[in-house]
Amino acid sequence: MSKASTPVKPEAPNCDALTVMFDGACPLCRREVSLYRSMRPLQPLRWLDVSIETSPLAKAEDRSRLLSRFHVRRANGELLSGAQAFVALWLLLPGWRWLGRAASLPGATAFLELLYLGFLRIRPRLQKLARGLESRKP
């Protein structure tokens, strides 16, 4: 973990950093988040595994809804999901900013959201496949 990335403190679900909320029980999500966490972000990021029952959530946040899609929470408390959440994260990661900028062009985020909805339909099958592959590793 880079020095700029820190875990969320239970007493501070809203913070001065972008909080990346992910499903740590999902093998696909774990791999992707691991990739993102290996980078040095341009601004501080906080990582919150919402699959852990004791993870601190804001009062208005529903764990099952957070597990169903990728979410980030901005410092001002605004919750983004799906393509908007990915774009917000990509804009802070070296090597991914170009994609965040491209996705910020008019219509691009809406198009990415359609792709993401398609991914969500096949996600359970991909998770099952990924878990099977993980269980085969020595």
pLDDT at residue 96 is higher than 80: yes
Residue pair 39/65 in contact by the 8 Å Cβ criterion: no
Reported as a pLDDT band with limits 50, 70 and 90, residue 10 is very low
pLDDT at residue 44 is higher than 70: yes
Q: What is the average pLDDT across 49-63?
A: 80
Reported as a pLDDT band with limits 50, 70 and 90, residue 2 is very low
Q: Where are the beta strands (DSSP E) in the chain?
A: 5-7, 18-22, 45-49, 71-73, 79-81
Q: What is the average pLDDT across 31-49?
A: 93
Domain hosting residue 107, numbered range: 5-136
Structural domain count of the chain:
1
Q: What is the average pLDDT across 107-133?
A: 91
Interatomic CA distance for residues 52 and 74, integer angstroms: 21
Q: What is the pTM of this model?
A: 0.81
Interatomic CA distance for residues 19 and 10, integer angstroms: 13
